[in-house]
Amino acid sequence: MGSTEPPVVLSVVIPTLDEASCITACLERLVGQDAIDEIVVVDNGSTDGTREIVADLAIRHPKIELLEEPDPGVAHARNTGFDKSRGDYIGRIDADTLVGPDWGATVRAHLDAHPDTMAVTGISTYHDSPIGFFLAAVIGGQERLGLIKHQPVGNVHGANMAIRRSAWQQVQDATTTRRDLHEDLDLALCLTKAKLRIDQLPPLRAEISARRRKTPPSVWWKYQLRGLQTIANQGYDVVPFHRAVITGAWLMHTSQWPIYRVWDFDRKRFSLRPGRPRVSPVGD
């Protein structure tokens, strides 16, 4: 009798674009987790050696697969990864995300135990921020007060989430690939419109990069406005609450920006010449 391959339960999709500086650390957090069966890296036109790094890692770690998506935009890369991955559950993180050691097991255990949950999203802190301990302390305090808990939510964080393949297939045609909109918020709105449950999982931990905090406030405001456009694009009314949320987020960003402006993310220290890491795009 011929041998059969074990089923692929959890795939993790990682869209990439010029992530040579961080993709190795991201993948090293994933390959050792037995609960993760497949890691699909979708390169979206890198010119900095990202593809070569991933290809080399894939030789040593067969669960890594490298794909290429020529159409620009994270939504195109995400869609290619979602469609070509084989898992019943599809994780989604960014190339600068460092997941916790039980990340995969947490996704699988929750979706196995809660068949009505169609997607999950977790709690993220920073791994390269000079003031990241403030965010960690705030999250810890909110958890102790019961403000962060396992509960249904209306959004997903693209750097720390997972979705059932069946749910993705149900909403895929309703999602947008417009580069001027937020693809993770758009996906969450499509799930909500289809009455598919999203759960927030406090144990689903990941650390992300704070490098986008270097974005000038004027550019960040335009980026925040894309959230309102994403909501309107899915047919929802933009209400004062939505405007209050993005205004609060912008004020928080603006208050921190002077600190990040002189922070060198490569050397993890303050510098008068800190370099120019990636900032958040405002779309085309």
Rounded distance between C-alpha atoms, residue 281 and residue 180, angstroms: 8
Residues 124, 161 share a domain: yes
Per residue in 266-275, pLDDT tens?
889 999 887 6
Tell the burial category of 132 from Cβ atoms under 10 Å away from its Cβ (0-12, 13-18, 19+).
middle
Residues 183, 86 share a domain: yes
Question: Where among 209, 241, 260 does a domain terminate?
Answer: 209
In which band, very low, low, confident or very high, does the pLDDT at 277 lie, cut at 50, 70 and 90? Answer: low
Question: Where among 160, 186, 209 does a domain terminate?
Answer: 209
Say what the pLDDT of residue 170 is: 98
Is 258 inside a domain boundary? yes
pLDDT at residue 51 is higher than 60: yes
Residues 238, 203 share a domain: no
Q: 5 or 16: whose pLDDT is higher? A: 16
Query: What is the average per-residue pLDDT within 59-78?
Result: 98
Residue 168 sits in a domain of what CATH number?
3.90.550.10
Rounded distance between C-alpha atoms, residue 212 and residue 280, angstroms: 6
pTM for this prediction: 0.95
Residues 165, 33 share a domain: yes
Report the domain count for the chain.
Answer: 2
Rounded distance between C-alpha atoms, residue 16 and residue 105, angstroms: 24
Is 277 inside a domain boundary? no
Residue 91: domain span: 10-209
Rounded distance between C-alpha atoms, residue 166 and residue 169, angstroms: 5
Say what the pLDDT of residue 276 is: 65
Residues 203, 220 share a domain: no
Is 84 inside a domain boundary? yes
Q: If we measure between CA atoms, which residue out of 81, 83, 84 comes closest to residue 92? A: 81
Per residue in 144-181, pLDDT tens?
999 999 999 999 999 999 999 999 999 999 999 999 99
Question: Where among 209, 235, 250 does a domain terminate?
Answer: 209
Say what the pLDDT of residue 284 is: 46
Is 2 inside a domain boundary? no
Q: If we measure between CA atoms, which residue out of 81, 35, 89, 87 comes closest to residue 54? A: 81
The pLDDT mean for the chain works out to 95
Residues 143, 43 share a domain: yes
Is the torsion defined by CA of 27, 5, 102, 111 positive or negative? Answer: positive
Is 133 inside a domain boundary? yes
Is 275 inside a domain boundary? no
